[in-house]
């Protein structure tokens, strides 16, 4: 009788242990799904390219760590990004790793919390030359009695020449400048395109003295039909 009871007790403990193990596995799988990063994507401005993601459904878990890998399209091996291995941030700088701007790349991110690791979340294919956004030029405005002279400098890439200066974006694209003028006596949003071309110095003549004018400039890539945002507005009062 005692042996039968002991055998039944062992069987019960075995079944209970299996159930606990199964519940732990299910809980781990749930946690894996809850912490898996969402919406992994590249963002790029003037070839400064970063990988971004959003936390999983367990957004309240502040102790979640993230791990980033990248590779060029066609490569079989993923590379770890050392500076983005076990981080709490939701962004990773991959500018250096995507410097071959004509090649497509992928990035992926996984999360870890309480010893549980999520599956990898993959970005879409990213080709810097096609997908980077162009920035506006640097603008200097000089005025005289009835004219404004606009001096432009192309936005710079993060990549450097041998002497150390940053390479302008005009080395990679055939860029045009679009110069807009705003007469502050009119509607503030009434912009007039005064010039489109490659010149770095543009003179706008026959303006009215005693009137405040503002200048804004865009960079335009005809090949990709893409414009930058407006430069910071610069205003001047003609004497």
Q: What is the pLDDT of residue 3?
A: 52
Domain spans, the chain: 33-130, 134-237
This prediction has a pTM of 0.82
Strand, helix or coil at 151? strand
Superfamily of domain covering 33-130:
Immunoglobulins (2.60.40.10)
- 134-237 and 33-130 share a CATH fold: yes
Range name among 59-63, 67-71, 134-138 with the lowest pLDDT average: 59-63
In whole angstroms, what separates CA 165 from the centre of its chain? 23
Class of domain 134-237: mainly beta
Give tens-digit pLDDT for 191-236: 899 999 999 999 999 898 888 899 999 999 999 999 999 999 999 8
In whole angstroms, what separates CA 200 from the centre of its chain? 28
Matching residue, tokens 């497509």: 104
| Mean pLDDT value across residues 147-173 | 95
HSE-CB for 177 with a 13 A CA cutoff: 25
Phi, psi of 13, deg, nearest 5 = -65, -40
Give tens-digit pLDDT for 68-90: 999 999 999 999 999 999 999 99
Residues 186, 187, 188, 191: is their CA dihedral positive or negative? negative
Give the mean pLDDT of the chain: 87
Query: What single string gives the DSSP state of each residue in 160-210?
Result: E-TTSPEEEGGGTS--EEEEEEEETTS-TT-EEEEEEES-SEEEE-SPPTT
Beta carbons within 10 angstroms of residue 71's beta carbon:
15
């Amino acid at each position: 009788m005692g042996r039968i009871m002991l055998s039944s007790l062992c069987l019960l403990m075995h079944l209970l242990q299996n159930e606990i193990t199964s519940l732990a596995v299910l809980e781990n799988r749930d946690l894996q799904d809850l912490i898996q990063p969402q919406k992994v994507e590249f963002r790029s401005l003037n070839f400064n390219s970063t990988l971004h993601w959003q936390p999983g459904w367990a957004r309240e878990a502040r102790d979640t760590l993230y791990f980033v890998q990248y590779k060029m399209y066609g490569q079989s091996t993923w590379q770890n990004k050392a500076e983005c291995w076990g981080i709490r941030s939701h962004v990773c700088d991959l500018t250096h790793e995507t410097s071959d701007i004509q090649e497509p790349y992928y990035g992926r991110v996984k999360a870890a919390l309480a010893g549980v690791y999520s599956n990898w979340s993959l970005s879409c294919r990213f080709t810097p030359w096609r997908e980077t956004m162009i920035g506006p030029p640097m603008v200097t405005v000089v005025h005289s009695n009835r004219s404004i002279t606009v001096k432009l400098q192309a936005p710079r890439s993060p990549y450097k020449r041998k002497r150390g200066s940053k390479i302008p974006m005009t080395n990679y694209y055939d860029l045009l400048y679009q110069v807009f003028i705003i007469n502050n006596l009119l509607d503030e949003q009434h912009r007039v395109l005064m010039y489109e071309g490659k010149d770095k110095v543009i003179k706008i003549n026959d303006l009215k003295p005693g009137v405040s004018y503002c200048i804004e400039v865009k960079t335009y890539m005809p090949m990709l039909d893409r414009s930058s945002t407006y430069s910071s507005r610069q205003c001047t009062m003609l004497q």
